[in-house]
Structure 1
Amino acid sequence: MRSQLENAQLFRALHERPGTFIIPNPWDAGTAKLLAAMGFEALATTSLGVANMLGRATVSIEMILRNAREIVAATGLPVSVDLENCGADTPNLASEAIRLAAETGAVGGSIEDSTKNPQSPIYDFSLALERVQAAVEVARSLPIPFTLTARSENFLHGRKDIDDTIKRLQAFEAAGADVLYAPGLYDLATIKTVVSALKKPFNLVMGFADPTLTVEQLSDAGVKRISVGGALSRVALAAFLRCAREMKDNGSFTFVPEMAPIKELRDAFAAITPP
């Protein structure tokens, strides 16, 4: 089993090699093991997936970290943690989430400029930058090469200002963030515009992008890393709701033949031995 340092080095190498890689988003130990058994090289947590799993509209930083620890322990793969706004507004408190993420065994994590306040959803530019600078400082103090992702959330909150988004990402890049991320970009032209303005690796989340885009197209556009956010969780819940509605409304069970084979699941779970 690889050490955390070895996983951190491997995760960095994934961002440095040619081409694009997919980093899918499990929401618990079981889904993490299934993805690992399929051969994915790294995983990223999803705060939305955690909220869905727990039946909550929102989750705390403690819940996010607990879930990260479980996913890290499930597979031994490199894991990056969706830390939302790191659970705090001030730079010093927010940056502490980076240290806590590393303590779960994860080798990467994100900080975003969303406030979680619907009345004022995006931090002012100066505060957003200070938060990233503090997170970088903590990441660099760790005994492993922790991969820090900095996110600009404009497009997810109705602020489709590409110039401000690029300005923020460039500032986060200059501050030392290792990966840049702007969820909510939809079309290939916009994605290309943002990626071409940056020098460091860019993560695209397909949960909000044009679903007809392919890995090949995104690689040609310069995207380094592709995630899906809470999409897998939401698709699984859509199937759950469809089956439940069929039982409730029709009194029928035609979904039963669509079940995942028990042997396939057990084989996948048995193939991945936790550390």
Structure 2
Amino acid sequence: MARPMATTQQQKYQSFKALHENENAFVMPNPWDAGSAIILEQTGFNALATTSAGYAFGAGQRDSSGVVTRADILANAGAVVQATSLPVSADLEDGFGLAPDICHETISLAIQVGLVGGSIEDASSDADTPILPLDIAVERIKAAASAAHGQPFMLTARAENYLWDKPDLADTIRRLQAFDQAGADVLYAPGLDNLDDIRTLCAAVDKPVNVVMGLQNALFSVAQLAEVGVKRISVGGSFARAAYGALIRAATEVIEHGTFTYARDAIPDHDINQMMSAEKRASRT
């Protein structure tokens, strides 16, 4: 069935919000640039999210807090927004600053570039104390939510315990519940790799839950995740890593064997040119 194109930011927001209210779970993949966004839209997804990791790799940088700037991330996100008719959310890392007013400003700037969603995490960028104290994390989410209030924007709050070797489900749930009360629209605890834990988390909160797939220890299906209560599934930097994996395999074949059989799996030049053509993109419905 043809999908109506969402043209304005408000229309994209309404489409994005409706996906979270649907009884089914949906997959929101993560393009790392305009070209990958175009391909993912034409593949049939209904919403997209940027990936700070994928962007960093494309820029020749490590995926590490503080390596790429807020201006870099928002410029990349704006290019993705302009390339597609789909709703786009963004990985806004830690809000690009500890102070709540910086998080507020980051959300305001995100709305200005056309994003209809974005995430703020509670990681501290300090290896010694990698997770922010809960009271500070909550104030940052409150500030971000105040910037989003009344705007076409869904705020996602991320509890990062599991990405920093702190697999504390009780604390993660406590944090997400506090972020819910602080005004977050979507709750997210990346790194959970146990279906029973995901089920417990989903049952303990009142807002839609996002999980990330594509990590080596989490290979559950959409159906499995939907059954335990997940509403939204992203893939983080894993699509970008899959693309770079294909590049490495092709390059290794040429260097080590002097052959070019990788080309059998490459998308034909005609097909990708068609996908990128302005005429093809304008005809999408």
How far has the Cα of 1:61 moved from its partner? 1.3
% identity of equivalent residues: 46
Cα shift readout 1:224-273 (whole Å, capped 9, x = no counterpart): 00000000000111111111122222322221222111222122222223
The answer to whether structure 1 residue 46 and structure 2 residue 55 are counterparts is no
Question: Secondary structure, in 3 states, of the residue corresponding to 1:41?
Answer: coil
Q: Distance in 1 between matches of 2:271 and 2:16?
A: 28
Q: Distance in 1 between matches of 2:150 and 2:97?
A: 20
Q: Distance in 2 between matches of 1:263 and 1:33?
A: 15
Q: Distance in 1 between matches of 2:129 and 2:260?
A: 46
Aligned to 1:111: 120
How far has the Cα of 1:119 moved from its partner? 2.2
The answer to whether structure 1 residue 188 and structure 2 residue 195 are counterparts is yes
Unaligned runs of 5+ in 2: 1-5
Equivalent residue letter for 1:45: T
**Which residue, 241, 244, 251 being the options, matches 2:251?**
244
The answer to whether structure 1 residue 87 and structure 2 residue 96 are counterparts is yes
**Which residue, 213, 218, 221 being the options, matches 2:228?**
221
Aligned to 2:17: 12
**Which residue, 68, 71, 84 being the options, matches 2:80?**
71
Of 121-130 and 211-220, more deviation after overlay is shown by 211-220
Equivalent residue letter for 2:142: Q
Equivalent residue letter for 2:98: D
**Which residue, 43, 57, 60 being the options, matches 1:55?**
60
**Which residue, 125, 128, 131 being the options, matches 2:140?**
131
The answer to whether structure 1 residue 25 and structure 2 residue 53 are counterparts is no
How far has the Cα of 1:209 moved from its partner? 6.7
Over the aligned positions, Cα root-mean-square deviation in angstroms equals 1.6
Contact 1:185 1:209 in 2 (8 A): no
Q: Distance in 1 between matches of 2:119 and 2:68?
A: 16
Cα shift readout 1:141-182 (whole Å, capped 9, x = no counterpart): 53x2x1000000000010111111000000001111000000
The answer to whether structure 1 residue 152 and structure 2 residue 153 are counterparts is no
Q: Distance in 2 between matches of 1:255 and 1:237?
A: 13
Normalization by structure 1: what TM-score? 0.95
Q: Distance in 2 between matches of 1:154 and 1:51?
A: 22
Question: Secondary structure, in 3 states, of the residue corresponding to 2:115?
Answer: coil
Contact 2:213 2:219 in 1 (8 A): no
Aligned to 1:268: 275
The answer to whether structure 1 residue 178 and structure 2 residue 217 are counterparts is no
Q: Distance in 1 between matches of 2:75 and 2:199?
A: 36
Q: Distance in 1 between matches of 2:145 and 2:276?
A: 36
Q: Distance in 2 between matches of 1:74 and 1:105?
A: 11
The answer to whether structure 1 residue 97 and structure 2 residue 97 are counterparts is no
Equivalent residue letter for 1:153: E
Cα shift readout 1:11-39 (whole Å, capped 9, x = no counterpart): 11110111101101001111100111112
Q: Distance in 2 between matches of 1:32 and 1:236?
A: 13
Judged with a 3 Å threshold, the aligned counterparts in structure 2 of structure 1 residues 95 and 209 are, in CA distance, closer, same or farther, namely farther
Q: Distance in 2 between matches of 1:120 and 1:272?
A: 46
Unaligned runs of 5+ in 1: none
Cα shift readout 1:177-210 (whole Å, capped 9, x = no counterpart): 0000000001211111111111110001003374
Q: Distance in 2 between matches of 1:193 and 1:259?
A: 42
Judged with a 3 Å threshold, the aligned counterparts in structure 2 of structure 1 residues 69 and 130 are, in CA distance, closer, same or farther, namely same
Of 218-227 and 56-65, more deviation after overlay is shown by 56-65
Aligned to 2:3: none
